[in-house]
Amino acid sequence: MRNLLGFTAAFAFVFLVGGLIRAAALSRTSNNMPDQPQQESQHGAHEAANQEAGAEESTPEEAKKDDAKKEEPKADLPQELENVSDPVSGKAVGENPTVLEHKGWKIRFENGANRDKFLKKPIRYYAKLSLEPTKEGKLLKVDASKYEKAAPATCGIMGGDIDADGDVFILHRGFKVFFCCWSGCGDEFIADPAKYYDHYGLVEKDGKLVLK
Q: Is the pLDDT of residue 54 over 60?
A: no
Residue 88 belongs to some domain of the structure: no
Q: Distance between CA 4 and CA 16 in Å, rounded?
A: 18
- What is the pLDDT, as a whole number, of residue 34? 46
- What is the pLDDT, as a whole number, of residue 42? 53
Q: With contact defined as beta carbons under 8 Å apart, do 92 and 110 qualify? A: yes
Residue 16 belongs to some domain of the structure: no
- What is the pLDDT, as a whole number, of residue 2? 52
Per-residue DSSP letter, 206 = T
Q: Distance between CA 88 and CA 21 in Å, rounded?
A: 108
Q: Which domain holds residue 169?
A: 143-212
Residue 9 belongs to some domain of the structure: no
Residue 176 belongs to some domain of the structure: yes
Q: With contact defined as beta carbons under 8 Å apart, do 173 and 194 qualify? A: no
Element (DSSP H or E) covering residue 12: helix 2-32
Strands (E), the chain: 79-80, 98-102, 105-109, 131-133, 139-141, 148-150, 169-172, 175-178, 202-205, 208-211
Q: What is the pLDDT of residues 85-104, one digit of tens each?
A: 999 999 999 999 999 999 99
Q: What is the pLDDT of residues 165-178, one digit of tens each?
A: 999 999 999 999 99
pLDDT band at 76; cut points 50, 70, 90: confident
pLDDT band at 39; cut points 50, 70, 90: very low
Range from 10-14, 22-26, 52-56, 77-81 that averages highest in pLDDT: 77-81
Residue 156 belongs to some domain of the structure: yes
| Mean per-residue pLDDT of the chain | 81
Q: With contact defined as beta carbons under 8 Å apart, do 128 and 139 qualify? A: no
Indicate the number of domains in the chain. 1
Per-residue DSSP letter, 163 = -
Residue 180 belongs to some domain of the structure: yes
- What is the pLDDT, as a whole number, of residue 207? 93
Q: With contact defined as beta carbons under 8 Å apart, do 121 and 150 qualify? A: no
Amino acid occupying residue 26: L
Q: How far is CA 35 from CA 22, 26, 29, in A?
A: 21, 15, 10
Q: DSSP letter string over 117-131? A: HHHHSTHHHHGGGTE
Residue 162 belongs to some domain of the structure: yes
Residue 82 belongs to some domain of the structure: no
Q: Distance between CA 57 and CA 86 in Å, rounded?
A: 56
Per-residue DSSP letter, 164 = T
Q: Is the pLDDT of residue 183 over 90?
A: yes
